[in-house]
Amino acid sequence: MAATKEFGATGAETTVIGPSILISGKLSGDEDLTVRGRVEGELSLTRTLIVEPSGIVKANVSVRNAIVSGVVVGNITASESVELTREGRMVGDIRSPRVIIVDGASFRGRVDMGNAEPRAANERPASQTRPALTRPVVRPAAAPPRPVVAARPAAAKPLPPAARPVVSAAPRVEPKSGGDAKPQPPPPPPQPVLVGEAGKKKVLVKKKK
């Protein structure tokens, strides 16, 4: 009897199903449940289910939290979280806002984290990015042709905004071309006048550096 009292004291809010125990039927409760044996049927708790490595649960489970280190065959619905640890083995569906499956765990079934948020979040950015991409692409594509035809600098193609003001563009082009000094030198040759100016200025910039 002493033993029972001790266990009663320590297990005040914890129920333990020992390794040789088989429970078949319905089990419900408002406290933590540790399963080291077998539970078959239906299991519903308002708190945490812990299936230890020796535990086998063949049941539809509805709990707040579930930590599975043993074997679960059946569906788990958890209002908070389901965790499959390294030793956990499960076949069945999981419905829970938080699902943790650790490396080493074995699981076959569906996972439903409930919230439509992730799906909605994917749809929104996708629909936003598409127009965002298409619009800017269209604008620069339409814009460059005008200055290219009017201003003719082939070197200016990569820098459409600077291309519009041809004469006044020179100073603006310098810093930009200065940054891209190596890639730009080849294009200039076809334009003798601009090349000379740009070349001298580039050289000056280099000397300053």
Instruction: Give helix 192-208 / helix 166-179 axis angle, nearest 10°.
Output: 40
Residue (12 or 142) nearer to other proteins, CB: 12
Compare residues 17 and 76 and give the one whose CB is closer to other proteins.
17
- For position 147 contacting other proteins by CB under 8 A, the verdict is no
User: Minimal distance in Å, beta carbon 86 to other proteins?
Assistant: 24
How is residue 91 written in tokens? 């076949």
Interface with other proteins includes 1 (CB under 8 A)?
Answer: yes
Q: Does 193 bind other proteins (CB under 8 A)?
A: no
- Nearest distance, CB of residue 49 and other proteins, angstroms: 12
Q: Does 194 interact with other proteins (rule: CB under 8 A)?
A: no
Tokens representing 59 are 């049941």
> Does 9 contact other proteins by CB under 8 A?
no
28 contributes a contact to other proteins by CB under 8 A: yes
Quick one: 69 exposed, middle or buried, by C-beta within 10 A (0-12, 13-18, 19+)? buried
Question: What does the per-residue mask of binding to other proteins show for 39-78, with x meaning CB under 8 A?
Answer: --x-------------------------------------
Q: Round to whole Å and give the CA distance between 26 and 43.
A: 6
Residue 19 vs 104, nearer CB to other proteins: 19
Per-residue tokens: 126? 């996708």
When the beta carbons of 55 and 153 are compared against other proteins, the nearer one is 55
What are all long-range contacts of 109-112, with beta carbons under 8 Å and residues at least 24 apart?
Answer: 109/75
Q: Please identify which residue in 25, 97, 104, 118 interacts with other proteins, judged by CB under 8 A.
A: 25
**Is residue 33 near other proteins by the rule CB under 8 A?**
yes
CB of 71 to other proteins, least distance (A): 17
Question: 76 — phi, psi (to 5°)?
Answer: -115, 125
Radius of gyration of the chain (CA): 35
The dihedral sign for the CA sequence 67, 10, 17, 14: negative
Judged by beta carbon, residue 31 or residue 112, the one nearer other proteins is 31
**Cα separation, 198 vs 79, whole angstroms:** 69
Question: Which residue, among 184, 168, 188, 166, has the nearest Cα to 176 in the 3D structure?
Answer: 184
Contact positions toward other proteins, by CB under 8 A?
1, 3-4, 7-8, 11-31, 33, 36-37, 41
